[in-house]
Every structure is written in C-alpha cells, then in structure tokens.
C-alpha cells in the first residue's frame, strides 16, 4: 500500500504541486505587495512584478494568518490584499484542522524523502490508496485535465449557488469567534508594521448573491468587514457585483481570463498602482 501510494503521488500530484516553491517565496520574496486568502484569491489575482499571490484553495484563516506571519518575518512589505469574504467564518472553515499546512510553512529546503510524509499529503494516504484501486492508471501518472484557463460559463445555476451558499454561510455568532478576533489582530499588526492593508470582498455571480440574500449571516459578515476597516483605518473594497454572470466559471469564482484585469483594478483602487 505505502509503496504504490508513494508512486501514485509522485506521478500524479508532484508534477503540478508548487507548494514548496510558494513556501520558499514566502520566506525569501522581495516583492513589495502580496495577496492572501483562499481560492478566491488564488484564482482571481494574477501575480505580477510588484505582486505575489499567496492564495491557496481551502485555506482557513489560521493558515492565511500563518502565511502572512512567515512573509512578515522576511523582507519588508508595502501592502497586503487581504480576503474579506464571509466563508472565512463558516463552520467548515473554522473547524478544519489545518495544523499540517501550518507545519509545512515552517519547512524550508529539501522536503521529506518520501512524498507521503509531506504534511500536505499525509492526511489523505488512505484516500489516495482507494482512489488508485478504483483507477489503476493513476499509478502510471494519468492526471485529470485542468479546465482551460480561458474558460467562462454562462450557465451558473441557481441550485448550485444555493448549495454553495449553504456550505459557506458564516456561523451565527461569528463576531465573537476566534477567527474574527484573529482577523482584527492581524490587520492591526500589519498596519503597526507600516504595511498598507486593503480588505477585498471578491466578485460573486448573481445567483450566488441572490442565494446569500436569504441567509442573514452573510449580510452581517459584510457589514462586519466594512465596520472593521473603518475602525482600523484601512481600505475596504466590496467588489461582489463587479462582473456579469457570464464571466464566472462557477457561482463564486471568476473565469481565469479575468484575473489580469481584475488584479489591475484591485491594485489601482487599493494602492494607486
């Protein structure tokens, strides 16, 4: 089991795994601006000469904060784009144990000799093994094809949006939770270090916005972000309704070909760049 799973990871996952390169960038980058968050940041922000993208799909705020702390320990930063989306306060994010992801951020240089010992893969060894039994060709490096970078969608369904909104709804008392306290502390720490913070609520499709309108904790979360930005004296951009529905590839992610123009808009509005 262990040997076959190791081979599968090396042939199907490692070739497209850039996590070690990102960790090294966190420790060594001299780029003056950086974006942090989950898949909204990862997919909608385009890295450029003056901007690093450290967004990672499914990161909860503990992991986002850990990435920022690592970056702050290195070369000076001028500005940070910080995700301000209600899903950060959802139960499935706040209760997720991402200690292995955080552990991996401290690891530099050569990763463990066995890929299955990497913190990113360790929790899923059994799942990988069963996937390999169902699809033996994974052992020989067959990978699922990634969606085309230029793909757009004109058919974001109301039902898909409702399902996703139900998953991402913030906890009823999120304002009193550990994540909201850590968010505010982190913004304060960044500004105290002379880093300009720009909190950004990312674009959403019409169906998703309509789905969240029936769930009061979403509105409360957006009000909280706006209020914290005012209280802490930082910029806040609410860009939920910036794009037409035809420019999304799922209810809450922009099509990949919008990343460059969207990034230009954010950098101009946040930092006049």
pLDDT for 139 equals 59
| Residue showing tokens 């505010």 | 184
Which stretches in the chain have pLDDT values below 50? 143-154
Q: What is the pTM of this model?
A: 0.84
Topology annotation, domain 2-271: Rossmann fold (3.40.50)
Query: Is residue 198 within a helix (H) or strand (E), and if so which, with residue range?
Result: strand 196-201
Determine how many CB atoms are found less than 10 A away from the CB of residue 145.
Answer: 6
Q: CA–CA distance from 174 to each of 90, 179, 184 (Å)?
A: 8, 8, 13
CA distance 77 to 85: 23
Q: CA–CA distance from 215 to each of 171, 187, 221 (Å)?
A: 11, 27, 11
Which residue, 166, 179, 176, is CA-closest to 89? 179
Residue spans per domain, the chain = 2-271
Please write the tens of the pLDDT for every residue from 95-111: 999 998 898 888 765 66
Please write the tens of the pLDDT for every residue from 107-145: 765 666 666 656 666 666 666 656 656 676 655 655 444
């Amino acid at each position: 089991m262990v040997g076959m799973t190791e081979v599968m990871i090396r042939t199907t996952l490692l070739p497209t795994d850039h996590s070690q390169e990102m960790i090294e960038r966190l420790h060594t980058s001299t780029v003056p601006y950086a974006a942090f968050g989950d898949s909204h940041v990862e997919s909608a922000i385009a890295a450029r000469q003056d901007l690093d993208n450290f967004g990672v799909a499914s990161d909860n705020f503990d992991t986002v904060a850990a990435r920022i702390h690592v970056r702050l320990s290195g070369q000076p930063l001028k500005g940070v784009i910080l995700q301000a989306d209600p899903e950060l306060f959802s139960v499935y994010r706040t209760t997720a144990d991402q200690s292995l992801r955080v552990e991996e951020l401290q690891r530099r240089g050569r990763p463990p000799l066995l890929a299955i010992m990497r913190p990113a893969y360790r929790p899923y060894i059994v799942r990988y093994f069963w996937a390999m039994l169902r699809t033996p060709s994974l052992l020989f490096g067959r990978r699922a094809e990634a969606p085309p970078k230029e793909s757009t969608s004109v058919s974001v369904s109301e039902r898909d949006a409702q399902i996703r909104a139900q998953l991402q709804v913030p906890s009823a008392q999120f304002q009193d939770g550990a994540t909201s306290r850590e968010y505010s502390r982190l913004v304060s720490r960044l500004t105290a270090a002379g880093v300009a913070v720009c909190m950004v609520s990312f674009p959403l499709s019409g169906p998703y916005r309509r789905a969240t309108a029936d769930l009061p904790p979403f509105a409360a979360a957006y009000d909280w972000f706006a209020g914290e930005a005012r209280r802490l004296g930082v910029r806040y951009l609410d860009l939920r309704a910036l794009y037409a529905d035809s420019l999304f590839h799922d209810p809450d992610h922009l099509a990949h070909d919008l990343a460059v123009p969207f990034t230009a808009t954010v950098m101009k509005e946040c930092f006049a760049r």
